[in-house]
Structure 1
Amino acid sequence: MPFFLRILFIAMLLLFGFGVLAYLVEPETFITLFDGIWWAIITASTVGYGDFVPKTILGKLIGILLVLLGVGFVSSYFVTLASSAVKRQNDYIEGKMMFKGKEHTIIIGWNERSKAIIEKFLQEENYGLIVLIDQTLESNPFSDYHVHFIKGRATNDQVLIKANIYHAIKVLITADQNKDELQADMDTILTLLAIKGLNPTVYTVAEILTTEQISNALRAGADELIQTNQITSSVMTNCLHSTEKVDALMILLEQFNGSRFVFQASTAYIGQNFIETSKQLLEDGALLFGVKRGRDTIINPSHPFVLKEHDILLVISATS
Structure 2
Amino acid sequence: MPHFIYSSFIRLPLAIRILLIALMVILTFGFIISILEPHNFPTVFDGVWWAVITASTVGYGDYVPHTIPGKVTGIILILTGAGFLSTYFVTLAAAAVTRQNDYLEGKVNFKGEQHLIIIGWNERSRELITALAEEHKGVSIALIDETLRSNPSPGEVHFIQGRSNQDQVLLKANIRKANKVIITADQNRDELQADMNSILSLLAVKGLNPGVPCIVEILTSEQVANARRAGADEIIQTNILTSSVMIHSISAQEMVTSFLDLLGHLNGRRLRLMPAKEFEYEVTFTDLSALLLKDGMLLFGIKRGEETFVNPPHPFSIDSDDELIVIA
TM-score by length of 1: 0.93
Q: 1:124 aligned to 119, 130, 135, which one?
A: 135
What residue identity is the alignment partner of 2:232? A
Q: Partner residue of 1:148?
A: 158
> How much has 1:284 moved relative to structure 2?
2.8
Matches within 5 A, 1:1-320: 1-144=12-155, 146-242=156-252, 245-255=255-265, 258-269=268-279, 270-317=281-328
| Alpha-carbon distance between aligned partners in 1 of 2:304 and 2:56, rounded to the nearest angstrom | 71
| Alpha-carbon distance between aligned partners in 2 of 1:217 and 1:300, rounded to the nearest angstrom | 29
What residue identity is the alignment partner of 2:288? T
> How much has 1:174 moved relative to structure 2?
0.6
Aligned residues: 316
SS of equivalent to 1:290 = strand
> How much has 1:166 moved relative to structure 2?
1.1
> How much has 1:154 moved relative to structure 2?
0.6
> How much has 1:286 moved relative to structure 2?
2.2
* More off after superposition, 48-57 vs 283-292: 283-292
> How much has 1:65 moved relative to structure 2?
1.1
| Alpha-carbon distance between aligned partners in 2 of 1:230 and 1:132, rounded to the nearest angstrom | 26
Q: Identify if the C-alpha distance between structure 1 residues 7 and 242 changes in structure 2 by more than 3 Å, giving closer, same or farther.
A: same
> How much has 1:202 moved relative to structure 2?
1.0
| Alpha-carbon distance between aligned partners in 1 of 2:57 and 2:67, rounded to the nearest angstrom | 21
SS of equivalent to 1:150 = strand
| Alpha-carbon distance between aligned partners in 2 of 1:109 and 1:244, rounded to the nearest angstrom | 33
Are the aligned partners of 2:135 and 2:268 in contact in 1 as well (CA < 8 Å)? Answer: no
Q: Identify if the C-alpha distance between structure 1 residues 245 and 207 changes in structure 2 by more than 3 Å, giving closer, same or farther.
A: same
SS of equivalent to 1:100 = coil
Superposition CA RMSD, Å? 1.8
> How much has 1:125 moved relative to structure 2?
4.3
What residue identity is the alignment partner of 1:90? N
| Alpha-carbon distance between aligned partners in 2 of 1:164 and 1:243, rounded to the nearest angstrom | 45
Q: Identify if the C-alpha distance between structure 1 residues 108 and 301 changes in structure 2 by more than 3 Å, giving closer, same or farther.
A: same
> How much has 1:239 moved relative to structure 2?
1.8
Q: Identify if the C-alpha distance between structure 1 residues 274 and 220 changes in structure 2 by more than 3 Å, giving closer, same or farther.
A: same
Q: Identify if the C-alpha distance between structure 1 residues 74 and 296 changes in structure 2 by more than 3 Å, giving closer, same or farther.
A: farther
Identity %: 56
| Alpha-carbon distance between aligned partners in 1 of 2:321 and 2:141, rounded to the nearest angstrom | 29
Q: Identify if the C-alpha distance between structure 1 residues 255 and 216 changes in structure 2 by more than 3 Å, giving closer, same or farther.
A: farther
Q: Identify if the C-alpha distance between structure 1 residues 96 and 295 changes in structure 2 by more than 3 Å, giving closer, same or farther.
A: farther
Q: Identify if the C-alpha distance between structure 1 residues 102 and 87 changes in structure 2 by more than 3 Å, giving closer, same or farther.
A: same
- After superposition, the C-alpha distances for 1:246-288 in whole angstroms (9 at most, x for unaligned) are 3222223435694243332323234423232222222333221
Q: Identify if the C-alpha distance between structure 1 residues 243 and 229 changes in structure 2 by more than 3 Å, giving closer, same or farther.
A: closer
* More off after superposition, 33-42 vs 123-132: 123-132
Q: Identify if the C-alpha distance between structure 1 residues 58 and 296 changes in structure 2 by more than 3 Å, giving closer, same or farther.
A: farther
TM-score by length of 2: 0.91
- After superposition, the C-alpha distances for 1:128-155 in whole angstroms (9 at most, x for unaligned) are 11111111111111131x4111111111
Provide structure 1 residue ranges, at least 5 long, that are not aligned to the other structure. Answer: none
| Alpha-carbon distance between aligned partners in 1 of 2:320 and 2:235, rounded to the nearest angstrom | 22
| Alpha-carbon distance between aligned partners in 2 of 1:255 and 1:230, rounded to the nearest angstrom | 23
Provide structure 2 residue ranges, at least 5 long, that are not aligned to the other structure. Answer: 1-11
| Alpha-carbon distance between aligned partners in 2 of 1:153 and 1:243, rounded to the nearest angstrom | 41
* More off after superposition, 273-282 vs 238-247: 238-247
What residue identity is the alignment partner of 1:205? I
| Alpha-carbon distance between aligned partners in 2 of 1:243 and 1:137, rounded to the nearest angstrom | 37
| Alpha-carbon distance between aligned partners in 1 of 2:241 and 2:178, rounded to the nearest angstrom | 28
| Alpha-carbon distance between aligned partners in 1 of 2:178 and 2:97, rounded to the nearest angstrom | 28
| Alpha-carbon distance between aligned partners in 1 of 2:107 and 2:253, rounded to the nearest angstrom | 53
| Alpha-carbon distance between aligned partners in 1 of 2:157 and 2:118, rounded to the nearest angstrom | 10
What residue identity is the alignment partner of 2:196? M
| Alpha-carbon distance between aligned partners in 2 of 1:201 and 1:245, rounded to the nearest angstrom | 40
